[in-house]
A = this chain, B = another copy of it.
Amino acid sequence: MNISAPRAELIGLDWGTTSLRAYLLDEQGGILETRARDWGIRRLPPGGFDEALDDVLAGWPECPLLASGMVGSRDGWREVPYVDLPAGLDAVARALDFVDSAGGRRLQLIPGLRHGPSADVMRGEETEIFGALALQPALAVRSALLLPGTHSKWVSVRHGRVVDFTTSMTGELYAAVRHHTILGAGLGAEDPPIDHEAFLRGVTAARDSGAAGALSRLFSARALVLAGRLAQQAVPDYLSGLLIGEELRAALAAGRIDHATPLQLIGNAPLCHRYAAAASCFELGMALPPPCAAALGLWQIARSAGLTAAALPQPRFHGAKL
């Protein structure tokens, strides 16, 4: 039994549009420490990427650095070309590129994935996916994954490779409609307390919209308030239910999901719970997300790319501060 203190082996960065998260990982891929900053690529400090990197790493030991997410996009620090489907861990690890910071650090960058025919893209989610597949190897054989968010990703996996995916702009659409149309009139910028009943009412309206779809019901969020049949404070959750319900309705209509195959959620826990609640209105099964998928994905890709010396054991987590 090894009772020595764990040694830092890799620093993984999940660097998106609006936030930066750093993981200090030990020689077994366990999380020693996590840091979060608001410095997404659109909100950098005055010193730009260099300052953000120096700050988030301050005091941490020297380790190989690997980053996923929009930091590798056209608007990021350096653009890393997408890897086309079908794509497994090996293809992604082979396509890393890097940038050297002003302070002399070398940051390896993970490419995103591209669906050739539709031109659809993801950047960052591929890392979470490979983390989830390592945690639950049964998913690698054949599974349907859903990573909800600003841009939800619906993903098909076969034999460890991403073979298909599509993006649904549900989160961003919600924000645009909530804050920039008449539906948000009379509400402040802050959302009121969660109204679970209003959420389910929205989901049900979307489910019952049939092939016409829930966009044709959007105005109900205003009309019901005018008629005194929906409280103004309930509009945000009604709208959230309507749009998440529409995402599920459309996925069923497109054959992306069915009632026989449970869908695996990956990502932010409260949002995943919201999707799981919506799924139950459709009598669909959804498995709640595994923890720390991003950190483990960074570890898996680093190992596959030869950035770490360690062989990959069964993943484990000590004191994860997610």
Give the chain B neighbours of A220 by CB distance below 8 A: 118-120
Flag if B169 contacts A173 (CB, 8 Å): no
Give the chain B neighbours of A311 by CB distance below 8 A: none
Interface flags for A113-124 (1: CB within 8 Å of B; 0: not) read 010001111000
Chain B residue nearest in CB terms to A221:
B169
Chain B residue nearest in CB terms to A114:
B227
Flag if B119 contacts A226 (CB, 8 Å): yes
* Nearest Cβ on chain B to A28's Cβ, whole angstroms: 37
Say yes or no for A223: interface residue by CB 8 A criterion: yes
Flag if B180 contacts A179 (CB, 8 Å): yes
Query: Given that A118-B223, A211-B253, A253-B211 are contacting pairs, would A218 and B169 also be in contact in the complex, using a CB cutoff of 8 Å?
Result: yes
Q: Which of A152-194 contact B (CB under 8 A)?
A: 166-169, 172-173, 175-177, 179-183
Interchain CB contact (< 8 A) of A177 among B118, B176, B219, B250? B176
Say yes or no for A210: interface residue by CB 8 A criterion: yes
Say yes or no for A318: interface residue by CB 8 A criterion: no
Interchain CB contact (< 8 A) of A168 among B219, B223, B253? B219
The docked-state distance in angstroms from the alpha carbon of A253 to that of B118 is 24
Q: Which of A210-228 contact B (CB under 8 A)?
A: 210-216, 218-220, 223-224, 226-227
The docked-state distance in angstroms from the alpha carbon of A42 to that of B223 is 19
Interchain CB contact (< 8 A) of A254 among B176, B216, B229? B216
* 5 further A-B pairs in the complex, CB-CB below 8 A; given A120-B219, A213-B253: A168-B216, A169-B215, A180-B180, A210-B253, A212-B251
Instruction: Give 30 A-B contacts (CB < 8 Å), ordered by A residue.
Output: A118-B220, A118-B223, A119-B224, A119-B227, A119-B229, A120-B220, A120-B223, A121-B223, A121-B227, A151-B219, A168-B218, A169-B218, A169-B219, A173-B177, A173-B181, A173-B215, A175-B180, A176-B177, A176-B180, A180-B180, A210-B253, A211-B250, A212-B250, A212-B254, A213-B213, A213-B246, A214-B215, A215-B247, A216-B247, A216-B250
